Every structure is written in structure tokens, then in C-alpha cells.
């Protein structure tokens, strides 16, 4: 796509005419995939070498296969789980739990964070309590949640919501309170009302900070999912972990771990891509792509 | 119709301390009035009073033409980095046909070609031109400029001086230009006002007010007078 402006592709990609948005998006994606492939090429080197050594060590009997099955055995297990549809079911169940817990936690965090940041009164009223709740390790809520909400889906989503709330809340409060006073003054001078000041100046200015919080929240979402599913579940990737341990199948445990790794990375990549897309205006070194 | 921005600040104090006393300035439409003063003497406070960012003071400020039409150019461009140049100029105005007007003023400040750029792609001089365009897009009767070119190099500053004079004339604006540089004030303005404390650590007032001359010798004298007034 960048062939239409070969002399200054970077500029063309960043500065589109109104109708060029889809083209710019496509060019950005192409560039991103290319850069990703280059970076990933190097990043795969170490895991690939480890896999080969692991396989050989396992075949030669240096490590006990029932404790650490070789990659080929894992591939088998993975294929069986995938073919039977069982893996997809677990992923779907876990994904739905993380998704809803994350959505609730982050939405609450954004709303309360914005409120606390913009109103000194609300900040004095609410922030100390929230900071106090934050001091409680989120897993400590588990027994209470089980008592109150049973062992069904509700306590899991609640736990994930609690866990994902705080990083986004802190980032939102921090981002909004650190907005440059000078930019807000421009808005006031131009006659913007208090709500327009927030939506049109403070929020966009705080977006980079908020995004960092949301990405941290997403990572914690998967962590609390596993915690919740390890305790009580009949499906989901956490259940797969428990199942593997109870039936003595290390291959199941490892497949679940790898799946979690891929899903976690995928979530973050999606958020990172949105971040790059929305926050292209930041005056930062373009080559410093967040890993 | 009153063609003058009449400033009459009898007393302005912040946190119990007097900042300005007896500041009377009549800035005529189509002219640049330079306000000179050392750092921290209350120049910026004066501008904040005129543009309504501060409202508590003794005295009266009368705007020419219609109320509310005040353009402000700050020391830094203060552009919103997530908006294009054109959207920065049109920011805060919600009427239709706005982009056409934004384009017209961008053309006026010589940046028609840069409408699509984002602030991070601009040089300091370009960014300050955008800030001027943002002030002009509302057709201001009063244009306030708070040391707008102090961070720019000499050549860029000269070009922007010419631009400021041109737009002041063309838009018939009463331009109040705050600076700490006597030469800039003498080069630019049709009237120069020096703001200085009458006694050490006291509030600032008008120490000097005159029409700059182009006669080199007389001008040298005016420059000396400004420096004396600033030091007192």
C-alpha cells in the first residue's frame, strides 16, 4: 500500500487525508506484521533450540517422560484435545470468564478513576477506602466469594473483576491527575465546559497512561482466572491443570500452560495493536515498539 | 462603537499579596501594544485578567466590539498532540463550515500545506503559527500574546513579527503583546508600556508608556529609558 508514496512512506502512513483511513490502517497492519515477523524470527530461536534438546533428552531417557513428556507427546495430546473439541470448549469457557470479569473490572475502574481524578471531594471520600481494599491480596477474597456466591461462575468473574480493577483504576487516576494544566487552560480559554474539558482534553491526554493500566489488568485477568478455576471448576483451562495433576498427566498440565501462554500473549498483542493505532500521535521514538 | 480595549486594573492581589496596582492601558484596534516587564512582575496575570481566566480584581476591563472574542497565544504553542493541525485550529468550535475557516486562517499564517500534520511533526515556529491560527479562527477583537516567540530563533521570530503586524491590521484586532525583550517591543509595537514595581517587592504598575520611534538615535534613548524603568 505504501507504493503510492514511495518517497515518504512513513509520512504517508501517519498523515492521511480524511478518506485514506482504511488505507493507512492496512499499511500500518502490513508494517506491523512485517516488523513482528522480523522480531519474532529472532525470538523463536531460543525456544526452538530448547524444544530440540528437550526432545532428544527425553528420547534418550535422560528425563522421566511421565514427569516431563517430550514435545512430540505434547503435540499428540494437543492434537487429541483439539480434535475432540475439548480444548476449544475449555478455551471458550475460560475466555468468557476472563472477558466478562475484565470488562466489569476495567469499566468500573475507568468510571471510578475518572470520578476520583476530577473531583477532589470524591477523591477524599472514596480513594482511601479503595486504597485500603487494594492492600488486601486479591486471592484473600476467595473464601468469602465462595461462601457468598457459591462455586459457580459468579465468584470466578467477581474475583477476576476485583483483580483487574486496581491497575486500571490507579492508571486512570494517575493519568487524569497528571494532565498538563496548560492544555486544560487552553480548553478553558476557548470556552469549554467542565465535561468537555474531561472528554476532549483530559481523557485523550491520559490515554497513554490508562492503556498501560488496562494492559496490566488484562494480564492479571488470566492470572486470576487460573486461580479461580484451580479452586473449583469443572471446565476451563484451570480445570485442565487440576485434572492433569489429579490423573498424573503432566502432558495435560503442560498443554494447558502453553495454551494460557498463547492466550495471554494474544490478549496483550491485541491491546498493544489498539494502543499503537490510537496513540500514534505520541512524540516517542517510533522504533521502540513495546514487546 | 468603542474601538479600544480599555484596561483599568486598580488592584489585583493573589493570596493576599498585591500583584498589580493602577494599571491603565488603552490598546487600540489595529495596533499592537507591547507590555514589557521583568519575569514575575505580573504581565501574565494581566493577560489572565483580560481573557477571563481570572475574574477577581478591583477595576474594569472593557472589550472592543462584541464580548468574548478574545484570541490567546501562549508562550508555548500548547497544541493538542492527538489532533491534526487543522483540528487544533478548529478545536472548541462546533459550527458547520468550520474546517473551511480553519483552512483559511492556516493559509493566512502560511501553513495551508500542513493542515494534515500532527503537532509532533512541526518545528517550533510552525507550531506557534498554528497557535496563532487557532486564536485567529474566532475573529478576535482582542488578541493576547504572552511572550509567544521567546523560544524561537531570530529569523523565525522576525518572520512571525511581520505576521503579527499583518494580522493585527487585517483583523483590526487590539493586540496586547507581552514580552521581556525591549528590542522586540520597539520593533513590533505601535505603543510600548513598561510594567514595573514602584518599590522593591511591591506590586507592579505602569512605569513608562510611549510611542516607539524609528529614528535610530531617539530609539536608542527609548531603549535606555526602558532598561532604567525595568531596573527600578
ipTM value for the complex: 0.84
pLDDT surpasses 90 at A257:
yes
pLDDT surpasses 80 at A2:
no
pLDDT surpasses 70 at A37:
no
pLDDT per residue as tens digits for the range B54-106? 888 898 888 876 555 789 999 999 999 999 999 999 987 766 667 788 899 99
Tell me the count of A-B CB pairs closer than 8 A: 52
The Cα A146–Cα A151 span in angstroms is: 6
Residue A76: pLDDT band with limits 50, 70, 90: very high
Report the residue of A281, A283, A284, A286 to disrupt the B interface, i.e. the one with the largest count of B CBs within 10 Å: A281
Range from A89-103, A198-212, B97-111, B179-193 carrying the lowest mean pLDDT? B97-111
Partner-chain contact A282 B121, CB within 8 Å: no
pLDDT per residue as tens digits for the range B115-148? 999 999 999 999 999 999 999 888 888 999 999 9
Q: Which residue has the higher pLDDT, A139 or B177?
A: B177
Nearest to A283 among B51, B80, B81 (CB): B81
Residue ranges of chain A whose CB lies within 8 Å of a chain B CB: 11, 14-17, 182-183, 185-192, 200-201, 204-205, 207, 279, 281-283
Residue A5: pLDDT band with limits 50, 70, 90: very low
Nearest to B92 among A16, A183, A187 (CB): A187
Q: Residue B117: its chain A contacts at CB < 8 A?
A: 15
Partner-chain contact B80 A283, CB within 8 Å: no
Nearest to B118 among A15, A183, A187 (CB): A15
The Cα B119–Cα B107 span in angstroms is: 17
Amino acid at each position: 500500500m505504501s507504493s503510492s508514496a514511495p518517497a515518504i512512506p512513513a509520512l504517508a502512513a501517519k498523515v492521511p487525508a480524511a478518506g485514506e483511513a482504511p488505507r493507512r490502517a492496512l499499511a500500518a497492519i502490513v508494517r506491523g506484521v512485517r516488523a513482528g515477523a522480523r522480531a519474532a524470527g529472532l525470538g523463536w530461536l531460543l525456544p526452538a533450540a530448547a524444544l530440540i534438546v528437550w526432545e532428544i533428552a527425553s528420547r534418550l531417557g535422560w528425563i522421566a517422560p511421565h514427569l516431563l513428556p517430550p514435545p512430540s507427546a505434547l503435540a499428540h495430546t494437543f492434537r487429541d484435545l483439539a480434535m475432540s473439541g475439548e480444548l476449544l470448549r475449555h478455551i471458550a469457557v475460560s475466555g468468557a470468564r476472563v472477558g466478562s470479569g475484565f470488562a466489569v473490572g476495567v469499566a468500573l475502574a475507568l468510571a471510578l478513576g475518572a470520578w476520583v481524578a476530577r473531583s477532589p471531594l470524591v477523591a477524599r471520600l472514596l480513594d482511601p477506602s479503595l486504597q485500603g481494599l487494594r492492600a488486601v491480596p486479591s486471592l484473600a477474597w476467595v473464601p468469602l466469594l465462595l461462601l457468598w456466591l457459591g462455586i459457580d461462575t459468579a465468584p470466578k468473574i467477581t474475583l477476576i473483576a476485583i483483580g483487574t480493577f486496581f491497575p486500571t483504576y490507579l492508571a486512570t487516576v494517575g493519568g487524569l491527575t497528571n494532565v498538563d494544566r496548560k492544555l486544560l487552560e487552553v480548553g478553558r480559554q476557548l470556552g469549554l465546559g467542565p465535561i468537555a474539558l474531561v472528554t476532549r482534553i483530559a481523557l485523550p491526554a491520559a490515554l497513554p497512561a490508562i492503556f498501560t493500566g488496562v494492559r496490566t489488568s488484562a494480564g492479571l485477568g488470566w492470572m486470576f482466572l487460573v486461580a479461580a478455576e484451580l479452586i473449583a471448576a469443572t471446565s476451563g483451562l484451570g480445570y485442565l491443570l487440576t485434572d492433569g495433576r489429579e490423573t498424573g498427566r503432566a502432558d495435560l498440565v503442560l498443554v494447558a500452560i502453553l495454551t494460557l501462554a498463547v492466550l495471554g500473549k494474544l490478549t496483550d498483542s491485541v491491546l498493544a495493536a489498539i494502543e499503537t493505532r490510537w496513540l500514534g500521535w505520541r512524540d516517542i521514538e517510533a522504533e521502540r515498539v513495546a514487546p | 462603537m468603542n474601538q479600544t480595549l480599555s484596561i483599568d486594573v486598580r488592584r489585583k492581589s493573589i493570596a493576599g499579596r498585591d500583584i498589580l496596582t493602577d494599571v491603565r492601558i488603552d490598546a487600540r484596534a489595529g495596533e499592537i501594544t507591547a507590555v514589557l516587564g521583568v519575569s514575575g512582575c505580573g504581565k501574565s496575570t494581566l493577560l489572565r485578567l483580560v481573557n477571563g481566566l481570572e475574574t477577581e480584581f478591583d477595576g474594569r476591563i472593557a472589550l472592543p466590539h462584541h464580548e468574548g472574542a478574545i484570541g490567546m497565544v501562549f508562550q508555548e504553542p500548547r497544541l493538542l498532540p492527538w489532533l491534526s493541525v487543522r483540528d487544533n485550529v478548529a478545536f472548541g468550535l462546533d459550527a458547520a463550515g468550520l474546517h473551511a475557516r480553519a483552512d483559511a486562517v492556516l493559509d493566512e499564517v502560511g501553513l495551508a500545506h500542513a493542515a494534515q500534520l500532527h503537532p509532533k511533526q512541526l518545528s517550533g515556529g510552525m507550531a506557534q503559527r498554528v497557535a496563532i491560527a487557532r486564536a485567529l479562527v474566532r475573529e478576535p477583537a482582542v488578541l493576547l500574546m504572552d511572550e509567544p516567540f521567546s523560544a524561537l530563533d531570530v529569523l523565525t521570530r522576525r518572520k512571525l513579527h511581520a505576521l503579527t503586524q499583518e494580522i493585527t491590521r487585517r483583523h483590526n484586532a487590539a493586540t496586547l503583546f507581552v514580552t521581556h525583550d525591549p528590542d522586540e517591543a520597539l520593533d513590533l509595537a505601535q505603543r510600548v508600556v513598561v510594567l514595573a514595581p514602584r518599590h522593591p517587592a511591591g506590586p507592579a504598575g505602569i512605569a513608562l508608556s510611549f510611542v516607539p520611534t524609528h529614528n535610530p538615535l531617539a530609539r536608542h534613548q527609548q531603549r535606555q529609558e526602558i532598561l532604567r524603568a525595568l531596573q527600578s
